[in-house]
Structure 1
Amino acid sequence: MYADPPAPRPKGANESPPASPGGSDGLQHPWKWNPDYQKLIDAWEELLPRLDALTTTLDKAYSLSRSPQTWDAAVGERYVEDIREWRRRLALYRLSVLTALSDKAERMPRWVRTTDVPQPFW
């Protein structure tokens, strides 16, 4: 079993954007929560329960398949091996998908500057 990578951090209740010094154009550009970062959080929260459900289902099937009451023939071991391989592949898939989301979130800024600042009329 693998440990899940760190999840993207949701916006905290008391979290505020970084300090906003004047930009190169001399105007204040306010910060907003990055919508792309929020998509990563939403994807993580949607994906994790589904992966957990798949893992739980395969674990249950695997434990039942190993029971001596399940199989009468020697061919049963082949099915046990198949389920073991599915569990291994699911664990690798889970790790790769969650790592990709975690890495993307690590590189992405949580706050972005807005460009919808009223411009002075000259």
Structure 2
Amino acid sequence: MNFLANLGRVVLALLTEIGGIVIFLKDALLQGLTPTIYLRQILEQMLRIGYNSLPVVGLTAFFTGGALALQIYLGGSRFNAESLVSTIVALGITRELGPVLAGLMVAGRVGASIAA
């Protein structure tokens, strides 16, 4: 009977160790597979990239609109179309140039800040 008790203790100790190793491996795999999300850092970077780029984008849009208005006025004055300058500039900036310039300015600013 003493032999069976010792054998049972050894088998239980071995199974306890194996169970602990299996639980450890499961926890390690699950921890490695689940992505860690740093919400505060993500929001901070979104603020830096997006909101803080608005002055640069606004300044670029302002000067581009001025140059576009001047060129349209000079071209349209030959045909007495000076009254259409604001409409053409508004449509041109809103539909075509605005998104392109905003994308270029944000990409340039972000790329420069990452490289610095």
Q: Fold-level match, TM-score > 0.5?
A: no
Structure having greater relative contact order (Cα 8 Å, sep ≥ 6): 1
Name the structure with the higher helix share.
2
Name the structure with the higher strand share.
1
TM-score normalized by the length of structure 2: 0.33
**Larger-Rg structure:** 2
TM-score normalized by the length of structure 1: 0.32
